[in-house]
A and B are shown apart, each in its own frame.
Chain A
């Protein structure tokens, strides 16, 4: 699982530019896939056939991460940007960033910005260009960048990295796809695009599949210093009850709980008051489906040092595998 985590977190995959990561995942899963499709938005859909093909399961994890898009370049060669997704402005300030074409820069704040006024509007990127002309040779309007990847082992089984949201969801889904026995039903592992800008990719993907059951995999807030705890790091897979986009289907919540108890898999419940997930796209597609979400406790979400416990990842993978193999 750690190998997959390292591979997935090192890729560039800002919303709208998920192709490199999709390629990596595709290569990883090709040996076990019964079919692989890519749709017009760039969602990657991987099928594993089940014992019972009359029903379909969709597993969704998003490949994209937050980032910045170039909106203009000024006379001094500074690059002005807009956010892609919910940028954590304080955490992103004075970081090293990398563009899709490899150009590296540093993201800085306008001179004199007070701590309380830190926002994306105050951010510019310095790529070391002496003027507009020099900058335009390397970067143009519409180009996209993100904070450079980093994966750091902390104590015990804990790690910090950029974009664990939602690479570890992809890791859990890919791991389950690689290691599960024949699924109960036809199971589509979907690696979605553009979740961070409003769960856009999962909608057409869900429409294509029209699943009977849907399970999303995404991160959720774990207790941080000085904050209230939605979930606790290291205490197992979080079975989602709700977030601001969805009220999870009770039959999925109950089934996941049952499977966790049966398999001695550590679990906890998650009630999230903010943030949306691909769960909602699946639940509301076509005539509707029973959808839920297994969340991975994560600290400091949308910062370059998102922190997880590998033990939780194991629990999530086990729980997902149990659902795929045993069905409802």
Chain B
């Protein structure tokens, strides 16, 4: 299957943190004939071991997370509106007025927002916190609403993968289904060295899945494939953009959770140069990913993160460039084909 076709299908699956089952089932379906060994642990992480032509002295693991940000019902109101909270970090300004899809039964909800006609002057231009928003699932009272949704049920932004403009794509879940799709391609190809691949759960709520994988697999080196926020948006000064779309794979030297292994960062830059793969260094220190869990979990691992620059991350429409995703894939591949 062609990479972007696969990516589209992965992005359109519903899989908020803690409910990654559909994503995992699909991935297993796609790798089960690859000859790789795989195992699902108690909390839903999928770890795949792919034998290469050669053994590797160090245990190398490539990781991406299956979960995406989403929403959880916290209360069903008497009037049939649902109260909810976010699963993972979502800016309230991108929630209001959105269409959501529920994981269990596929029903659609819309995040109710008071139209401008009935707002008081004091409400103009104000975005209320998520705790004061409701989801409208088209029911008229609690009883009818409870037939469709109950407390604890989860939803995500509606599936919406699309090609976009000149070589870009947009979707609710590029973070991190593109990492999953890249790993599936690698597992389905011949590898030079033995390599572990971890499809983790619950990254968006604190990298819980990665911690468990780390203690179980004990990698010496962990390479994280992720989406990272691209700041090439209106008004952002050049020095504060983190990274930019169309400028290649992003290599992090430091973020909110990790100071990356200096030698691996240097290696990634060198490989990029050697093989003419566009690369950029992340230029603000912010955010974080599963590297933090692998670096200091168990006896510790050397870590590297290769990310795709993604605009409007954690919204209904994250935007990335196809060429950047290809660069991330090439760079990751070139690195795991090395004997490190």
Please state if A204 and B297 are interface contacts (CB–CB under 8 Å): yes
Please state if A39 and B299 are interface contacts (CB–CB under 8 Å): yes
Cα A83 to Cα B259 with chains together (Å): 12
Residues of chain B with a CB closer than 8 A to A16's CB: 254, 259-260, 262
B281 at the binding interface (Cβ < 8 Å)? yes
Q: How many Å from the CB of B251 to the closest CB on chain A?
A: 9
B130 at the binding interface (Cβ < 8 Å)? no
Q: Evaluate whether A39 and B300 lie within 8 angstroms (CB atoms) in the complex, with A16-B259, A80-B239 already known.
A: yes
Q: How many Å from the CB of A228 to the closest CB on chain B?
A: 31
Cα A189 to Cα B155 with chains together (Å): 50
B251-309 residues at the A interface, CB under 8 angstroms? 253-254, 259-262, 265, 281, 283-285, 292, 295-302
Cα A194 to Cα B221 with chains together (Å): 18
Q: Evaluate whether A72 and B299 lie within 8 angstroms (CB atoms) in the complex, with A142-B254, A142-B265 already known.
A: no
Please state if A69 and B300 are interface contacts (CB–CB under 8 Å): no
Q: How many Å from the CB of B23 to the closest CB on chain A?
A: 30
Cα A71 to Cα B238 with chains together (Å): 11
Stretch at the interface among A88-96, A195-203, A253-261, A270-278: A195-203
B192 at the binding interface (Cβ < 8 Å)? no
From A40, A73, A83, contact of B220 by CB (8 A): A40
From A39, A71, A194, contact of B259 by CB (8 A): A194
A64 and chain B: residue at smallest CB distance: B259
Please state if A204 and B285 are interface contacts (CB–CB under 8 Å): no
Q: How many residues of B contact A (CB 8 A)?
A: 25
Cα A69 to Cα B253 with chains together (Å): 9
B219 and chain A: residue at smallest CB distance: A40
Residues of chain B with a CB closer than 8 A to A84's CB: 254, 259
Cα A204 to Cα B259 with chains together (Å): 15
A34 at the binding interface (Cβ < 8 Å)? no
Digit string of B56-73 for contact with A (CB within 8 Å is 1, else 0)? 000000000000000000
Please state if A208 and B284 are interface contacts (CB–CB under 8 Å): no
B55 at the binding interface (Cβ < 8 Å)? no
Residues of chain B with a CB closer than 8 A to A194's CB: 259
Cα A72 to Cα B220 with chains together (Å): 31
Residues of chain B with a CB closer than 8 A to A39's CB: 299-300
Cα A82 to Cα B240 with chains together (Å): 11
Q: How many Å from the CB of B54 to the closest CB on chain A?
A: 22
Q: How many Å from the CB of A12 to the closest CB on chain B?
A: 13
A17 at the binding interface (Cβ < 8 Å)? yes
B282 and chain A: residue at smallest CB distance: A141
Cα A203 to Cα B293 with chains together (Å): 11
From B259, B261, B281, B299, contact of A141 by CB (8 A): B281
A74 at the binding interface (Cβ < 8 Å)? yes
Chain B CB count within 10 A is highest, among A16, A17, A201, A208, for: A16
Please state if A69 and B254 are interface contacts (CB–CB under 8 Å): yes
B205-224 residues at the A interface, CB under 8 angstroms? 220-221
Q: Evaluate whether A201 and B265 lie within 8 angstroms (CB atoms) in the complex, with A16-B254, A142-B281, A194-B259 already known.
A: no
B286 and chain A: residue at smallest CB distance: A82
Cα A100 to Cα B292 with chains together (Å): 24
B239 and chain A: residue at smallest CB distance: A72
B292 and chain A: residue at smallest CB distance: A200
Residues of chain A with a CB closer than 8 A to B259's CB: 15-16, 84, 194, 197
Q: How many Å from the CB of B159 to the closest CB on chain A?
A: 36
Cα A194 to Cα B291 with chains together (Å): 15
Digit string of A75-86 for contact with B (CB within 8 Å is 1, else 0)? 000001011100
A41 at the binding interface (Cβ < 8 Å)? yes
Please state if B265 and A200 are interface contacts (CB–CB under 8 Å): no
Digit string of A127-143 for contact with B (CB within 8 Å is 1, else 0)? 00000000000001110
Please state if B240 and A201 are interface contacts (CB–CB under 8 Å): no
Residues of chain A with a CB closer than 8 A to B261's CB: 40
A3-42 residues at the B interface, CB under 8 angstroms? 15-17, 39-41
Cα A306 to Cα B256 with chains together (Å): 27
Residues of chain A with a CB closer than 8 A to B254's CB: 16, 69, 82, 84, 142
Q: Evaluate whether A200 and B296 lie within 8 angstroms (CB atoms) in the complex, with A69-B254, A142-B253 already known.
A: yes
Please state if A71 and B296 are interface contacts (CB–CB under 8 Å): no
Q: How many Å from the CB of A120 to the closest CB on chain B?
A: 10
Q: How many Å from the CB of B155 to the closest CB on chain A?
A: 33
Residues of chain B with a CB closer than 8 A to A142's CB: 253-254, 265, 281
Please state if A208 and B239 are interface contacts (CB–CB under 8 Å): no
Please state if A40 and B301 are interface contacts (CB–CB under 8 Å): yes
Cα A173 to Cα B284 with chains together (Å): 36
Residues of chain B with a CB closer than 8 A to A73's CB: 239
Cα A69 to Cα B261 with chains together (Å): 14
Cα A74 to Cα B301 with chains together (Å): 34
Residues of chain A with a CB closer than 8 A to B297's CB: 203-204
Chain B residues close to A by CB (< 8 Å): 220-221, 238-240, 253-254, 259-262, 265, 281, 283-285, 292, 295-302
Beyond A69-B253, A69-B285, 8 extra complex contacts between A and B, CB < 8 Å: A16-B259, A16-B260, A82-B284, A200-B295, A203-B296, A204-B297, A204-B300, A207-B299
Chain A residues close to B by CB (< 8 Å): 15-17, 39-41, 43, 69, 71-74, 80, 82-84, 140-142, 194, 197, 200-201, 203-205, 207-208
A-B contact pairs, 7 of them (CB 8 A): A16-B254, A40-B295, A69-B254, A82-B285, A84-B254, A203-B297, A204-B300
A-B pairs, top 9 by smallest CB distance, nearest first, are A204-B300, A142-B253, A16-B259, A72-B239, A82-B285, A141-B281, A40-B300, A203-B296, A41-B300
